[in-house]
Structure 1
Amino acid sequence: MIRGRDRGLWWYFVSMVFVIILFFVFILGVIALLYYRLGNHTREHGNPFPPVLTMILFSLVVGTTITIMVGKKILAPITDFSRAAKEIADGNFNIYLNESHRINEISEVAHHFNLMVQELRSIETLRNDFVVNVSHEFKTPIAAIEGYAMLLQEENLSKEEHNEYTGMIIESSRQLSNLSGNILKISKLENQEMLSELAEYPLDEQLRQALLLLESLWSAKQLNLDIELDEQRYYGNEELMMQVWLNVLGNAIKFTPEGGTISVALHSDGAWISVVIADTGIGMTPKVRKHIFEKFYQGDPARAAGGNGLGLPLAARIISLSKGTIEVRSEPGQGSAFTIKLPVGGG
């Protein structure tokens, strides 16, 4: 049944068809009248107006009835689209239109409409998850800072306790700084379609510099390094690419136990540059492996690893903007291997 505002379109359709029928009936009546007069018809033919008038009324009734019935059928998908669009405007994304129509064009429109709603629903879910995750990530270090600051107000603290509490406050503050910085970086990169500030530089030397910057981490765990780097120049954003290596290498170091091995290999086949960063760490389950490039996802439910789940998504976005690819191979207890491919010509 057609109701409310949708009735306006239906009445408009019926009115237009009614006017068209009336116009053609009028033309028919004029033709009949001219035929009667030009043909010099006399009384033997009788008065032509009653049958003409009857024909006009009959045509109007039949045409209008057919129009009402057909109009409801034709306009039903349009009214469905109208109601669905209103529901979406009100924030309801649990809408699904019937895609089974005799008219292919209407079926295609319904199909694309459902795809749009599905995409909007996904975006809404991601937005809600983003807000929840950001709130959680900020809440944890802020609570730590507040708690240790209150402990520092206690009297008769030992020097060891004072140093421990201030150290935790500094660490939580650093975690907040890193989190806010990564959020700003990934938000900026998600709104970019290409990288700027491109320059040519030695990629092998950049990887060595990344390892040196992380020396305090891998040396503390007495990790072995297996380095195999070919000389290779690359045209890209040097600062962002360094962020990629620090994030991936930092992950490898974090999840590799003491005495393990980190291997870094750089080779080129003339068209693509391949960088493989592998470790002998704890590895990943298929579930974890599937989600590691999603923002705020962490394989450790207790968040004991101390990260914020933005390092690998940030690296993946930079690689994507550089027209490259990043893949991971990993099994529980057998370590992980990240393969990053970049075009020789640069991004």
Structure 2
Amino acid sequence: MRMRRPKNRGLWWYFVSLVFVIILSFLLLLSILAYLYISLGNDLVQHRNPFPPILTIILFSLILGTTITLTVGRKVLAPIADLIKAAKEVSKGNFEIHLDESHRVGEISDVAHHFNIMVQELRSIETLRNDFVVNVSHEFKTPLAAIEGYATLLQDDSLSKEEHDEYTGMIIDSARQLTTLSGNILKISKLENQELLTEQTEYRLDEQLRQALLLLEPAWGPKQLSLNLDLEELRYYGNEELMMQVWLNVLGNAVKFTPEGGEISVSLRPGPSWITAVISDTGIGMAPKVRKHIFEKFYQGDPARSAEGNGLGLPLVSRIISLSGGTVEVSSEPGVGSAFTIKLPGPVNVK
């Protein structure tokens, strides 16, 4: 049975109640003293009371009202003091603060609830920022170490021409890896702060896919991969440069993880409101744990292949497709292969 949350009373209700209690106490005390004064008559004077009745009423009312105000006020304002203290801790970088949300004052309970949500989001952002710094540092460290190591070896005058060429080739590859990494970081940083696509034009989407495959021919050619293309002619309105980045990344991954003699299939289908592109392979596939994280920055499911990429390709794909108003999904099984389904909004012009 679902428990009902107790209905919170507003802050105004508590203060009105406080004032009402003070006035009621004052009137009650005034009535009692007035009754005693009338009943006893001049007995108060005969006993030479040092305090006139009016002053006595005021004194007792002040004492009673102050006591009630301090007691209730401290209880009501204590959560506000806790909020101020917690805000000071957050300003110092402490994101482990948590406020009690069970207060019966509705406004205070809501403030505590949203404060906790804010702290949780700040904690998540801080974790992502720290992970980003660590990952970037690691990704830059590896090629820089390679460049330094091979440059040191080149200072040896006894090197043969073959060794010299090998070391210079490794330096060039590491420098290209740094260039790609820094370029991808700049791209994804720009796209994450961008809400709308610019520089959109109309172009042949099927021809763009063919061009992407031609650009990747040096990668899939030596592996003797079979290409199965089913591309219908259609025109698409979008950012041509960014969409080329999508195809190169997805197709590049398919080529990388498909063994020699494997097959890559690419289909493109127009629809009344969506364009559907499916890129599948007969590669090594992915376990569910890997598949869950492939669109996260710097994530690499196979550490042994970390030198072949930097874990930014698929996050770029996801962000570009999102900006284009589309979706990207992946299905994969270890040892069977992977299939990426990309849907882009229409309408579509078919020719």
TM range (shorter): 0.7 to 0.9
2:137 is matched with 135
Query: Number of residue pairs matched?
Result: 318
Aligned pairs for 1:326-337 (under 5 A) are 326-337=328-339
CA contact 1:235–1:345 (8 Å) conserved in 2: no
1:73 is matched with 75
CA distance in 2, matches of 1:216, 1:312: 21
| Same amino acid, percent of matched pairs | 73
Q: Determine which of 46, 54, 63 is the counterpart of 1:61.
A: 63
2:116 is matched with 114
Name the SS for the 1:65 alignment partner. helix
Name the SS for the 2:325 alignment partner. coil
CA distance in 2, matches of 1:296, 1:172: 18
Give the letter for the 1:56 counterpart.
I
Name the SS for the 1:220 alignment partner. coil
Give the letter for the 1:245 counterpart.
W
Deviations 1:233-282 (A, max 9, x none): 11110000100000110011101101101111101221111111111110
2:5 is matched with none
Comparing 97-106 with 142-151, greater Cα deviation is found at 97-106
Give the letter for the 2:253 counterpart.
N
Q: CA 1:338/1:91 → structure 2, altered by over 3 Å: closer, same or farther?
A: same
Q: Determine which of 185, 188, 193 is the counterpart of 2:187.
A: 185
Consecutive unaligned residues in structure 1, runs of 5 or more:
1-13, 30-42
1:317 Cα deviation (Å)?
Answer: 0.5
Q: CA 1:136/1:303 → structure 2, altered by over 3 Å: closer, same or farther?
A: farther
1:169 is matched with 171
1:35 is matched with none
1:105 Cα deviation (Å)?
Answer: 2.6
CA distance in 1, matches of 2:42, 2:107: 56
1:285 Cα deviation (Å)?
Answer: 0.8
1:321 Cα deviation (Å)?
Answer: 0.5
Q: CA 1:345/1:73 → structure 2, altered by over 3 Å: closer, same or farther?
A: farther
CA contact 2:258–2:283 (8 Å) conserved in 1: yes
Name the SS for the 1:143 alignment partner. helix
1:111 Cα deviation (Å)?
Answer: 1.4
Consecutive unaligned residues in structure 2, runs of 5 or more:
1-14, 31-40
Q: Which aligned runs of 4 or more in structure 1 are off by greater than 6 angstroms?
A: 43-49
CA distance in 1, matches of 2:269, 2:246: 17
1:37 is matched with none
TM-score (normalizing by structure 2): 0.85
Q: CA 1:65/1:46 → structure 2, altered by over 3 Å: closer, same or farther?
A: closer
CA distance in 2, matches of 1:216, 1:168: 19
CA distance in 1, matches of 2:347, 2:320: 16
Q: Determine which of 278, 287, 299 is the counterpart of 1:285.
A: 287
1:38 is matched with none
2:222 is matched with 220
CA distance in 1, matches of 2:256, 2:81: 57
CA distance in 1, matches of 2:213, 2:204: 15
Deviations 1:66-85 (A, max 9, x none): 11111111011111111111
CA contact 2:300–2:306 (8 Å) conserved in 1: no
CA distance in 1, matches of 2:307, 2:272: 38
CA distance in 1, matches of 2:42, 2:313: 100
